[in-house]
A and B are shown apart, each in its own frame.
Chain A
């Protein structure tokens, strides 16, 4: 099981780097996780799960300020053109889908077939995700200069599968 969390952790790092590079032309590098800097507009969390031989969920946490930057970079628009929070929500959902799609594809190729859940996005102040005791969890930090992103991997462990 430790191998599996290591594998998903590694794939998530690759996925976030790849997706940010391709869709945003932005280089992000892993770093030890640390809490997101406070943002008066709050935080946003995008998540997509995978279910099958490997079952888990990956969350992407960002401040609303960074989420707006991500959205603008993805769509090639200026911040003034962001017409509503819906564009940011949709962009973070799609970004999460791409990251977890990358991980899922490689898990499948590695003999762990699974399917994706639909993306979900939540916004608010001081958000945190609680998980049951039967989950392996990893938090990964990413940084591009002043911007900071967190990815959290939650993987259902073998004990949970058996119960």
Chain B
């Protein structure tokens, strides 16, 4: 969701400068030309941060701030004060008001963005659009580890994927790479010397154009303290070495919110096909579960009335497979969708041995399933 920034300034020029400064970011800039209007907009829109002019007619910034602080709904809203008066007394007074930060006019747009970026998580519009990327789109991963074997391991694990893996052995090198290149996600070793991964994380958060790059920590399974510290610091997650390619793909997908539903779902001939893959793992369960309801609703919206679960590729008819199929059937039933299952004779006979699955309607192919449900 877009960040809401409210600029309260009697100068249209400043309001335009603010709006322009945040144009490259995924945020909505709301404007108010005085304190009274500013309070009304703040009450209605609940902004994530307020840029407040100090000297204004009608109601000055001091009064606006006092009213914000006395409003239970708005008292926690961070306020950054803008002022053309940089006198010591003014600065002390502003600091005492409990503002998060202040900026002296004149200021450069970059400085404004940097200060706001310290208060809210600014994401570039391009980064926000990355949410719509698919699993099979090109993704840029930066592996930061002083042991080159780890980057090689990640590369090998992602063979066949269109994901680009680059590497850096030092945090400084990684920082430069993130600033200069379009890096989608960073995998940083938590055992880098001098807390390198944590320093890198903080440095990336310090710049608006790298602040939204997610960082996943890497460490050995037994490094519990490092894992806990990474979670507390705000890492997007921790993956343990040796890197399991399946787990890595799942983590990256989840972190970057990559579109994966096309791997499992397909709408055709008035039915939703749910195709479970050969390499069934916990990540599949999560990805299917995340998209299941919206896919079913979309099918019904489009006039469909059937769910066909394709188990042909599944090697082992395990409990997680059964549970996932059952949850899909249950969700489909709520929408009055009929269902059938596509599977081999082996799968069919395995199903007959469980109470929950013995009544499933089986077919040898998608077309046969469609015919059965007519």
Residue positions of A touching B, CB distance < 8 A = 18-19, 22-23, 71, 74-76, 86-87, 90-91, 93-94, 97-98, 100-102, 104-109, 113, 116, 118
Is the CB–CB distance between B88 and A97 below 8 Å? no
Is the CB–CB distance between B87 and A87 below 8 Å? no
Is the CB–CB distance between B13 and A102 below 8 Å? no
Is the CB–CB distance between A98 and B20 below 8 Å? no
Chain A residue numbers with a CB within 8 Å of B16 are: 75, 87
Is the CB–CB distance between A102 and B86 below 8 Å? yes
Determine which of A19, A71, A87, A101 lies in contact with B86 in the assembled complex, contact meaning CB atoms within 8 Å. Answer: A101
Is the CB–CB distance between A86 and B12 below 8 Å? yes
Is the CB–CB distance between B90 and A87 below 8 Å? no
Interface size class of B (residues with CB under 8 A): 20 to 34
- Which residue of chain A lies nearest to B106 when distances are taken between CB atoms in the complex? A22
Is the CB–CB distance between A18 and B106 below 8 Å? yes
Question: Are A76 and B105 also in contact (CB < 8 A) when A97-B84, A101-B83 are?
Answer: no
Chain A residue numbers with a CB within 8 Å of B14 are: 94
Instruction: Give the dominant DSSP class at A's interface.
Output: helix
Is the CB–CB distance between B105 and A91 below 8 Å? no
Interface residues of B in 94-131 (CB under 8 A from A): 104-109
Chain A residue numbers with a CB within 8 Å of B20 are: 75-76
Interface residues of B in 42-81 (CB under 8 A from A): 55, 57
How far does the alpha carbon of A131 sit from the alpha carbon of B104 in the complex, in Å?
31
In this assembly, does B301 line the interface, its C-beta being within 8 Å of a C-beta of chain A?
A: no
Chain B residue numbers with a CB within 8 Å of A87 are: 12-13, 16
- Which residue of chain B lies nearest to A18 when distances are taken between CB atoms in the complex? B106
In this assembly, does B361 line the interface, its C-beta being within 8 Å of a C-beta of chain A?
A: no
Chain B residue numbers with a CB within 8 Å of A118 are: 55, 57
Chain A residue numbers with a CB within 8 Å of B57 are: 118
A-B contact pairs, 23 of them (CB 8 A): A19-B106, A22-B106, A23-B106, A75-B17, A75-B20, A76-B17, A76-B109, A86-B12, A94-B14, A97-B84, A97-B105, A100-B84, A101-B86, A101-B105, A102-B86, A105-B87, A105-B90, A106-B87, A113-B87, A113-B89, A116-B84, A116-B85, A118-B55
Chain A residue numbers with a CB within 8 Å of B109 are: 76
Is the CB–CB distance between B105 and A98 below 8 Å? yes
- Which residue of chain B lies nearest to A75 when distances are taken between CB atoms in the complex? B16
- Which residue of chain B lies nearest to A71 when distances are taken between CB atoms in the complex? B13
- Which residue of chain A lies nearest to B11 when distances are taken between CB atoms in the complex? A94
What's the least CB distance linking A151 to chain B, in Å? 15
Is the CB–CB distance between A93 and B85 below 8 Å? no
Is the CB–CB distance between A93 and B83 below 8 Å? no
Is the CB–CB distance between B108 and A105 below 8 Å? no
Chain B residue numbers with a CB within 8 Å of A97 are: 11, 84, 105
Question: Are A108 and B88 also in contact (CB < 8 A) when A93-B11, A94-B11 are?
Answer: yes
Determine which of A90, A106, A108 lies in contact with B11 in the assembled complex, contact meaning CB atoms within 8 Å. Answer: A90
How far does the alpha carbon of A140 sit from the alpha carbon of B90 in the complex, in Å?
28
Q: Taking A71-B13, A87-B16 as given, write out 8 further A-B residue pairs in contact, using a Cβ cutoff of 8 Å, ordered by the A residue number.
A: A19-B106, A23-B106, A75-B13, A90-B13, A98-B106, A101-B84, A102-B84, A116-B55
